[in-house]
Amino acid sequence: MSHCDQILEKDVDSSPTATTNSSSKNGDNGDVVVNARAVCRVCKCLYREPKIMQCLHTFCADCVRQLEPFSVSSGVHNGKAVPLEGEPLSSAVTVLCPECDSEVDIPLSGVDGLTTDHLALDEVFLETLMSKNSVVCDLCSDGDAEKRCEVCSVNLCEFCIQAHRRQKRTSSHTVQCLEDLKTKGCLSRPVLCSLHPGQELRLFCEPCDLPVCLECAATFHRDHRCLPTRDVIDRHGGRIRDLVTGRLRPRLDQLEESLRKVDLSQEALQTRVDAAVDEVRSFARGYASAVESHCLLLLRRLEELGLQRRSHLHLQRAQLQQALSDTRGGVEFAERLLTCGSDAEILSAKDVTLRRLAVLMETGYNPPPATVCPDDGSSICFLPRESAGDVAGYPMVGVIHTKTLELSRCTIEGEGLQRGREGQRGEFTLVCRDSAGEQMGHGGEAVLVSMVHKEKKDCRVEAAVVDNSDGSYSVSYTPMEPGPYSVWVCVKALHVKGSPFVLNVRRQVRWHRGTFHCCSFCSSGGSKEARCGCTGTMPGGFQGCGHGHKGHPGKPHWSCCGSTVEASECLPQSVITAVGGTITAVGGTGSPRGQLRTVEL
């Protein structure tokens, strides 16, 4: 490290702790750091050996050494991303920038191989200069420094300034007043060579692409083309300037514009989301109020129904009590008259007794037992999914159902109750209706379906009843025996209108097993062994039928049963006879030829 850098490091070590914002914490001496460019983003202190990473972010050298490795090709040093100061790297190490998360490759020479950020050092010195009321002279350490040598980068008191000017080597150095530096708010100092302390980097080696001092040019770069920095700065600085102004600055403007649009979109999105939230909450409050109103209407409806039904039952009870009292009085009087009265007493009171008993029989309140107390509240139910219209503009569901089942109005839908097929599933639907003929709209009724064979009393069919929860009930069954069945359809142990029904189950379809041919001689290619279900015969030892021979139907027919209808069931072989050239199914025993085995060719 050069002498000037050592002096600057001394200034940095004595500087206060800093943070990155204008309202930073106080240092050890109570001063406040206000220059964020002089503060490391990792340790939150003034830069110490600031190093520029490949992403152009600057951090202290020690802070870079403490970073965890992101990728290492062959190993790490003591668990750190980079070795300690002075220790070379034995493998390529990559770390993540703490600022932008970019991947940064550490040189094989270690952190010291990274470029030093001299601008950051200038900011550190300026911050140190602005934060301290007085600066001690770097040479004598006795007096307060008043000026600063721009070449040596040292702060000097008045006595040391005179000595600095008397020395031949430093007599030409430019000295600036510290107060002027504070007023300007900027610091311009020379960049010195790290190999030759006190030598400024005034030359630029073209082959090595490095700034060098005069001694480096005379020793290490003797055969290289070294030009003054002022002669090459336009070319190299121009490249940077062209990239910035020609490409990156327009891209920066585009990115800023895009970012501005994104920010505006975020604001618009948040505004719309907030508005939607308000709309949802307003809708929820309105809907909740409408639901509450609907609930009150339903409760009021239930209360009115309960009052109405209770009044009806109370009236019916009063009528029954009165009828009971009248009937009991008449019966008791008549029984007492017959039991205790003499013949004369009975005859004398018979007229008035008979008239009273006749009145009780004719005009007295005597409802049928089935209609007494018909309303036990079972007809009142709540249908939560039934549409209830709109309340204050909001659609509502849930209605109070008060329909009463009327057995005479119930209907049966589907052909499964009139006809069925042996071994096949049959279905029909029971629709429960009220006195107005409207479908009940809800399930829960006790439905019973019984199916019994009318000729075979021990033959029953199991019926499955499915409640569709809409007033209809699906009934399915599978009969295994043909014939007539008696079907009982009951609701609450009472028959619906038309019950019991008669179900006719036909036998299972018999499919043809043979061939639909003109004759067995043709279909078998003249085989004598071929047989046919018809009554036709052929001479010469043929066992089947032939054209124009005895018993041939005279038309194409099935070889299995002799039926002349192609789209038909296979007739039982025991009931086939030949009548006038056609095959007819009749009762009794058929032709012996019908019992022969059919040969399919």
Kindly report the CATH number assigned to the domain that includes residue 416.
Answer: 2.60.40.10
Q: Are 304 and 312 a contacting pair, CB within 8 Å? A: no
| 56, 198: one domain | yes
* Amino acid 375: pLDDT: 61
Looking at 222, 247, 263, the residue that finishes a domain is 222
- DSSP calls for 248-263: IHHHHHHHHHHHHHHH
Any domain includes 598: no
Mean pLDDT of the 191-198 span = 79
Per-position b or e across 6-33, b if 16+ CB within 10 A of its CB: ebbeebbeebbbbbeeeebeebeeebeb
The full length of the chain comes to 601
Residue 281 confidence (pLDDT) above 60: yes
| 337, 485: one domain | no
Mean pLDDT of the 336-364 span = 87
Q: Which residue has the higher pLDDT, 413 or 179?
A: 413
Listed range (85-99, 286-300, 346-360, 427-441) with the worst mean pLDDT: 85-99
Query: What's the total number of domains in the chain?
Result: 4
Angle formed by the axes of helices 3-13 and 118-131, nearest 10°: 50
Alpha helices in 38-110 (DSSP H): 61-65
Q: Are 31 and 15 a contacting pair, CB within 8 Å? A: no
Please give the structure tokens belonging to residue 431. 């629709």
* Amino acid 290: pLDDT: 93
Any domain includes 270: yes
Residue 29 confidence (pLDDT) above 50: no
Residue 365 confidence (pLDDT) above 80: no
Residue 240 confidence (pLDDT) above 80: yes
* Amino acid 475: pLDDT: 93
Tell me the pLDDT band of 1, cut-offs 50, 70 and 90.
very low
* Amino acid 25: pLDDT: 41
Taking every pair of Cα atoms in the chain, the longest distance, rounded to a whole number of angstroms, is 175
**Amino acid letter for position 270:** Q
- What tens digit of pLDDT does each residue of 69-96 get? 887 765 445 545 455 555 555 567 889 9
Secondary structure letter of residue 139 according to DSSP: T
Any domain includes 146: yes
Mean pLDDT of the 442-453 span = 88
| 187, 167: one domain | yes
Any domain includes 333: yes
Residue 577 confidence (pLDDT) above 60: no
The mean of the pLDDT values for the chain is 80
* Amino acid 272: pLDDT: 95
Helix (H) or strand (E) holding 315: helix 249-340
Tell me the pLDDT band of 601, cut-offs 50, 70 and 90.
very low
Please give the structure tokens belonging to residue 19. 């943070």
Beta bridge partners of 412: 430
- What tens digit of pLDDT does each residue of 294-308 get? 999 999 988 988 898
Cα of first residue to Cα of last residue in the chain, in angstroms, is: 112
| 347, 253: one domain | yes
CA dist., res. 249 & res. 254, Å (int): 9
Query: Which range scores top for mean pLDDT: 57-61, 420-424, 506-510, 560-564?
Result: 57-61
Residue 582 confidence (pLDDT) above 80: no
Please give the structure tokens belonging to residue 499. 């019950």
* Amino acid 466: pLDDT: 93
Any domain includes 593: no
| 205, 58: one domain | yes
Residue 429 confidence (pLDDT) above 90: yes
| 569, 448: one domain | no
| 417, 469: one domain | yes
Residue 77 dihedral angles phi and psi, to the nearest 5°: -110, 105
Mean pLDDT of the 153-169 span = 84
* Amino acid 282: pLDDT: 94
* Amino acid 88: pLDDT: 56
| 209, 254: one domain | no
Tell me the pLDDT band of 226, cut-offs 50, 70 and 90.
very high
Of 23, 72, 17, 27, nearest to 48 by C-alpha is 17
Tell me the pLDDT band of 409, cut-offs 50, 70 and 90.
confident
| 56, 186: one domain | yes
Mean pLDDT of the 443-450 span = 88
Per-position b or e across 521-553, b if 16+ CB within 10 A of its CB: bebbeeeeebbbbbbbbbeeebbbbbeeeebbb
CA dist., res. 386 & res. 389, Å (int): 9
Looking at 363, 398, 428, the residue that finishes a domain is 363
Any domain includes 165: yes
Any domain includes 388: no
| 286, 337: one domain | yes
Residue 373 confidence (pLDDT) above 90: no
Mean pLDDT of the 491-496 span = 88
Strands in 50-52's sheet, in edge-to-edge order, are 58-60, 50-52, 115-116
Any domain includes 263: yes
Question: Percentage of the chain with pLDDT > 70?
Answer: 82
For residue 205, count other CB atoms closer than 10 A to its CB.
Answer: 18
* Amino acid 592: pLDDT: 34
* Amino acid 89: pLDDT: 55
Alpha helices in 95-222 (DSSP H): 118-131, 158-166, 178-184, 214-219
CA 551 vs CA 356, 543, 555, 572, 577: distances in Å: 88, 12, 11, 18, 10
Residue 17 confidence (pLDDT) above 50: no
Mean pLDDT of the 440-455 span = 86
Q: Which domain holds residue 570?
A: 512-527+555-574
Q: Are 533 and 514 a contacting pair, CB within 8 Å? A: yes
Mean pLDDT of the 169-192 span = 75
Listed range (30-39, 170-179, 248-257, 447-456) with the worst mean pLDDT: 30-39
| 418, 312: one domain | no
Q: Are 533 and 594 a contacting pair, CB within 8 Å? A: yes
Looking at 307, 331, 363, the residue that finishes a domain is 363
Q: Which residue has the higher pLDDT, 370 or 155?
A: 155
Mean pLDDT of the 187-199 span = 74
Q: Are 39 and 25 a contacting pair, CB within 8 Å? A: no
* Amino acid 63: pLDDT: 93
- DSSP calls for 439-465: B-------EEEEEEESS-TT-EE-EEE
| 64, 195: one domain | yes
- What tens digit of pLDDT does each residue of 96-134 get? 999 998 888 888 888 888 888 888 888 887 787 777 666
Q: What angle do CA 209, 210, 211 make, to 5 degrees?
A: 135
Residue 445 dihedral angles phi and psi, to the nearest 5°: -80, 150
Helix (H) or strand (E) holding 147: strand 147-149
Secondary structure letter of residue 156 according to DSSP: E
Q: pTM (2 decimals)?
A: 0.44
At 581 the three-state DSSP class reads coil
3-state secondary structure 202-246: CEEECCCCEEECHHHHHHCCCCCCEEEHHHHHHHHHHHHHHHHHH
Mean pLDDT of the 448-459 span = 89
**Which position has the token pair 């270690």?**
110
Listed range (223-237, 268-282, 505-519) with the worst mean pLDDT: 505-519
Q: What is the dihedral of CA 137, 139, 141, 142, to 10 degrees?
A: -80
Q: Are 493 and 511 a contacting pair, CB within 8 Å? A: no
